[in-house]
Chain A
């Protein structure tokens, strides 16, 4: 199952109660968001709206259509702007 990793100190920890790593049943990013909201209410929305993700190493600012493999690692990171 895909594994979700949060960096410690991230604001998302407030949703997970301190848990930094967990598995989620999902084959698409869209499903992942729904599962995150189910497990930790509000986390999915937080991820969708104000975070970027790195899926198997690649950064997505918007991962809406990204596909997840069974062993995918999803790291939640702050969205990146620029100047």
Chain B
């Protein structure tokens, strides 16, 4: 059933979220807050070298230390054959994943896990780490993506032969794969262009920088039952990966989803849980592990740094006739950067007849890349949106006009295959043109930038259960960890379908033993896919409620209708019965046929793509190089905002992360390949005084594939900010900053170079 044109009473309002009071009083339990009686503290020894052969590991002194109960190395994990599987947020090679959580043979980045201990206190565990003797043979390292691609660069994997190249190369390299996407005839396109613009851009690795470090509590009981409390974007993913990496049946593992303190894609991989389980198995006690902030930076999954070139050809009137892009992405220590989406997203919002995109997935001696909000798209769009902006300047055309002129519409065939349908990009551009920010007068010395963005959004597998309690209140359980307020939306959708106040509905996140399989929280999929499961389960419950009313009145079930929380006889012919409300039916559910509930599992297809446009005003201090964001407006097609406050929150949060990516965040490596800034002081995320209010404008072009029209919203907003800011800086000081971050030293250097 579809409620897109319905008169909605709950969906679209802003109730207080069900987990809110716990979170503002400090009662909410995150993984680091969990305890078990007699638990040990687990700590990981990490490689200080960016690239080294592990010659030997001597753990004997650590094992002998009083208070140490277990020490593990890669010997304690089964060897896994190279195997590609799509289990999680990207193609996953389990051999690589196993190697990443505990190095086997080689340390491939500074921070790579080498060994782990479990001891009675964290202090003793730290002492034990210092007693582990590791003999390394330090090897030359390479981090920068262009350098890693050079012949003669240190090669990380002797068995890496570039895929996607014909014939297959004879010698190994750091280029894991090459991908291309083409549309039309690029040479013909450039030949007919009146004006051509091209430029090169670079970005540095940045971290998702969730404030909560990775943490878990694991217990391996004597009978082989494993219990894990983890803060993760996917407890089913944790179960699957732990089972795979340790060779345990999934039924033996129960993962409880603790509250999660931010993820943004960085917690869709696994780092600690298999190690904690291995330590628990060896020690016979529960093991608690939490990363320090330094470990998070050095040992989890920052996104790619990249090198991108863009070449555009256009007619004098602004029609873009040719678009070419080459992207080189760091994958980190193992193959698997988001090069595919990077190649697909940059031009996805334009209708261009001739497109040629080439992408390289390149390994280098830095942590394995993990997903980060619209993986690949922010980097790709930074380059494209700066280039479109400069092309517009070259043509003497307004930046909004050039987007309007070349905008993708329903029916536009993308360069990666699908044809856009049910998209809202035109409406987003209309809202941009109509917005007061676009017309507001600009102060002297300030600059204004515009950039647009796209993300596919995904659906996938979700399960939901809806139960009617004996008093007529309702439980909604799903398998989706709540990272942004989704529990509120789940409860609201169920309340809407039942026609009852949302205060009567309680939404929870159930553990892996208590709900059907649910794919992880990410890809902007929960409101879409899990919401679909919740809605369908609630509809099944409504069918049962109608059936019970029909039985009570002894009339056919199709003579009953359900409205506003009550069963009514449908029309006067059905009989003059008083309506039966949910509580009345619930009270008798045992007698009338048994408990009323429904579980639905879906593999939701048809996720609606999201488009956004950001307008940014900046002031640039040419003396200090500091850029101040004066005004920021983020306009996005959200389909249907189930809970508008949390939709706005996603947009504001994504924009803020993009602003940090643009102006101050970067991994800084020393000559030895070690990170110089693994802390929040020198890895500079935006703070409250860096930002103005961020106005989020919700455009609603419903996605007909979701019962309420919702589209995913969380990822699109991180795509436009970097280019919007570079475009604004160009407007303010007349200089293009093509390298991220556009930090004060870089701005000063550019100002000085310009004379």
Q: Which residues of A contact B (CB under 8 A)?
A: 5, 7-11, 13-14, 18, 49-50, 54, 56-64, 66, 75-83
Contact = CB atoms under 8 A, between A and B. Distances in A.
A83 B268 contact: yes
Interface string B153-165: 0000000000110
A79 B85 CA distance: 11
A66 B605 CA distance: 10
Q: Classify the interface of chain B: helix, strand, loop or mixed.
A: loop
Contact of B371 (A7, A62, A76, A82): A82
B419 A57 contact: yes
20 contacts: A7-B180, A7-B181, A7-B416, A9-B358, A49-B85, A50-B86, A57-B420, A61-B458, A61-B459, A61-B605, A62-B603, A63-B605, A66-B605, A75-B418, A81-B90, A81-B458, A81-B522, A81-B523, A82-B265, A83-B373
Contacts of B179: 7, 9-10, 78
B53 to A, nearest CB: 30
B715 A79 contact: no
Given A59-B418, A77-B418, A83 B265 contact: yes
Contacts of B265: 82-83
A41 to B, nearest CB: 17
Contacts of B180: 7-10
Given A9-B178, A58-B418, A83-B264, A77 B344 contact: yes
B690 interface: no
A62 B526 CA distance: 17
Contacts of B177: 11
B89 interface: yes
Contact of B91 (A50, A58, A60, A62): A50
Interface in B410-424: 413, 416-421
A8 B182 contact: yes
Contacts of A62: 460, 603, 605
A83 B418 contact: no
A63 B417 CA distance: 15
Nearest to A20: B182
B172 to A, nearest CB: 17
Contacts, number: 123
Contact of A82 (B181, B418, B715): B715
Given A82-B715, A83-B374, A58 B264 contact: no
B568 interface: no
Contacts of A83: 89, 208, 264-266, 268, 371-375, 522-523, 715
A63 B266 CA distance: 28
B89 A81 contact: yes
3 pairs of A and B residues whose beta carbons are closest in the complex? A83-B265, A82-B523, A57-B419
Given A81-B89, A83-B375, 4 more contacts: A49-B85, A57-B418, A77-B344, A81-B341
Contacts of A49: 84-86
B651 to A, nearest CB: 15
Given A11-B177, A60-B605, A79 B91 contact: yes
B680 to A, nearest CB: 20
B457 A82 contact: yes
A75 B712 CA distance: 23
Contact of A13 (B166, B266, B607): B166
A18 B182 CA distance: 15
B91 to A, nearest CB: 6
Nearest to A80: B456
B524 A81 contact: no
B90 A5 contact: no
Given A11-B163, A82-B522, A82-B523, A57 B413 contact: yes
Nearest to A60: B605
A72 B603 CA distance: 22
A81 B88 contact: yes
B103 to A, nearest CB: 25
A56 to B, nearest CB: 8
Contacts of B612: none
B340 interface: yes
Contacts of B88: 81
Given A61-B460, A80-B341, A81-B88, A75 B417 contact: yes
B606 interface: yes
Given A75-B417, A83-B523, A7 B458 contact: no
A59 B419 CA distance: 9
B417 to A, nearest CB: 3
Interface string B167-197: 0000000000111111000000000000000
Contact of B458 (A9, A58, A75, A80): A80
A58 B417 CA distance: 9
Given A61-B605, A75-B417, A82 B85 contact: no
B691 to A, nearest CB: 21
Contacts of A80: 340-341, 344, 456, 458, 523
Nearest to A79: B86
Contact of B417 (A11, A54, A61): A54
A6 B358 CA distance: 15
B257 interface: no
Contacts of A56: 419
